[in-house]
């Protein structure tokens, strides 16, 4: 997971609870190992089930009583929710903690409507901007329409106009010099749709070569590499998808598969054998 600091506000979209572990387990572990207080708010999930998930991730709630709290959402009024989070965050500061780490299920918005959810996301951003809290909002793909998720992800971009996507495991930003994208984090089957969308947008936006900076990629699976190759081969003659600062092991994998010879693809970085 991307390391988070007070003030940051991110989201994770998931299709089953197993997809939450690589996001929420490090988020909670890091807070408990550091100087933060952790609040996990459930909606459709019973708190006992959420506590069981934490135990399965190697986190003992009993050992962190008073510092780690799992509780059920008591209201779906955006103003009340934000007021409660604000009170909890400032109380944590008074108790000597650096900040409040909040994660919560956002499925209540399916009942209340996207206007209420948009209001919550907008209002809670002011809390995060104050630097006393950070948060990961949980969006279940099984209950949220894709178009709604796309709109809500835009709310998590804050004031960074170059931010294309900001998830818990992957961040995609536009780059100007060279023109293209900067990738930061992990790319697997859960993130490949966002990568594909961002690549398509960059191809439409840039008239010449499109660069993809991969210097901060810690993991990418074959579905992510396939998205890059498919984008490259779809370009018109005379244009290229240029992969910059490719980690050596990724460059070697591209070469072993033979994708380094894909039309329109140029790989830079890593082992010089695959740079061209």
**Co-location of 144 and 174 in the same domain:** no
Do 150 and 259 belong to one domain? no
Q: Are residues 209 and 233 in the same domain?
A: yes
Q: Do the domain assignments include residue 148? A: yes
Residue where one domain finishes, among candidates 139, 160, 181: 160
Which two tokens mark 28?
């909670």
Residues 113 and 181 in one domain: no
- Asked whether the predicted pLDDT for residue 117 surpasses 90, the reply is no
Q: Does residue 129 sit in the same domain as residue 220?
A: no
Average pLDDT, the chain: 89
Residue 3 lies in a domain: no
Whole-angstrom CA distances from 133 to 31, 85, 99, 109, 208 are: 11, 9, 5, 22, 42
1 located within any domain: no
Give domain status of residue 57, yes or no: yes
Q: In terms of domains, do 193 and 150 share one?
A: no
What's the CATH code of the domain at 268?
Answer: 3.30.750.24
- H helices within 181-247, ranges in order? 192-205, 222-234
* Residue listed under structure tokens 């992510």: 224
Q: Could you say which of 97, 130, 160 is where a domain stops?
A: 160
- Distance, in Å, from the CA atom of 43 to the CA atom of 143, rounded to the nearest integer, reads 13
Domain end among 160, 195, 216: 160
Q: Which two tokens stand for residue 211?
A: 């660069």
pLDDT at 271: 40
Both 175 and 248 in one domain: the answer is yes
- Full residue range of the structural domain in which residue 39 is found: 9-160
Residue 69: closest CA among 105, 92, 41: 41
Tens digit of each residue's pLDDT (9 = 90 or more) over 176-216: 889 999 999 999 888 898 899 999 999 998 899 999 999 99
My answer on whether 148 and 257 are in the same domain is no
Whole-prediction pTM value? 0.65
Angle CA 160–162–166, to nearest 5 = 70
Pairing of strands 170-175, 163-166: antiparallel
Q: Based on the fold, state whether residues 202 and 72 are members of the same structural domain.
A: no
In whole angstroms, give the CA distance from residue 51 to residue 57.
Answer: 10
2: in domain: no
- Give the chain's domain count: 2
The answer to whether residue 4 sits within a structural domain is: no
pLDDT exceeds 90 at position 144: no
When mean pLDDT is compared across 30-44, 70-84, 165-179, 245-259, the lowest value belongs to 165-179
Q: Do 70 and 17 share a structural domain?
A: yes
CB atoms within 10 A of CB 24: 25
Whether residue 160 has pLDDT greater than 70: no
> Is the domain of 38 the same as that of 154?
yes
In a domain, 42, yes or no: yes
CATH code of residue 31: 3.40.50.300
Does some domain include residue 215? Answer: yes
On the question of pLDDT at 260 being above 60, the answer is: yes
Same domain, residue pair 152 and 176: no
Residue pair 29/1 in contact (Cβ under 8 Å)? The answer is no
3-state secondary structure of 68: strand
Q: What is the pLDDT of residue 161?
A: 59
Q: Are 274 and 252 in contact (CB under 8 A)?
A: yes
- C-alpha radius of gyration, the chain, whole number: 20
Is the pLDDT reported for residue 156 higher than 80?
Answer: no
Q: How far is CA 15 from CA 40, 58, 141, 195, 207, in A?
A: 19, 22, 5, 18, 36
Express each pLDDT in 121-133 by its tens digit: 889 989 999 999 9
Helical ranges in the chain per DSSP H:
21-33, 47-56, 78-94, 108-112, 114-129, 146-155, 192-205, 222-234, 248-257
Handedness of CA 150, 154, 155, 157 (dihedral sign): positive
């Amino acid at each position: 997971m991307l390391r988070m600091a007070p003030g940051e506000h991110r989201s994770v979209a998931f299709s089953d609870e197993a997809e939450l572990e690589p996001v929420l387990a490090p988020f909670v572990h890091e807070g408990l190992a550091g100087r933060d207080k952790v609040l996990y708010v459930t909606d459709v999930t019973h708190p006992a089930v959420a506590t069981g998930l934490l135990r399965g991730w190697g986190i003992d709630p009993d050992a962190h009583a008073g510092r780690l709290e799992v509780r059920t959402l008591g209201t779906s009024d955006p103003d009340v929710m934000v007021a409660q989070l604000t009170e909890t965050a400032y109380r944590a500061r008074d108790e000597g903690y650096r900040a409040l780490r909040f994660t919560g299920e956002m499925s209540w918005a399916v009942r209340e409507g996207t206007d209420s959810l948009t209001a919550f996301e907008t209002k809670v951003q002011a809390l995060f901007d104050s630097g006393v809290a950070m948060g990961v909002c949980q969006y279940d793909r099984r209950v949220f329409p894709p178009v709604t998720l796309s709109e809500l992800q835009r709310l998590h971009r804050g004031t960074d106009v170059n931010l294309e996507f900001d998830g818990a495991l992957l961040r995609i930003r536009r780059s100007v010099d060279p023109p293209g994208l900067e990738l930061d984090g992990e790319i697997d089957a859960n993130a490949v749709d966002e990568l594909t969308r961002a690549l398509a947008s960059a191809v439409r936006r840039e008239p010449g070569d499109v660069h993809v900076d991969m210097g901060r990629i810690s993991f990418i699976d074959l579905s992510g590499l396939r998205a890059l190759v498919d984008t490259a081969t779809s370009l018109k003659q005379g244009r290229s998808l240029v992969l910059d600062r490719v980690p050596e092991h990724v460059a070697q994998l591209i070469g072993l598969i033979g994708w380094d010879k894909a039309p329109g693809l140029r790989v830079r970085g890593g082992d010089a054998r695959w740079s061209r």
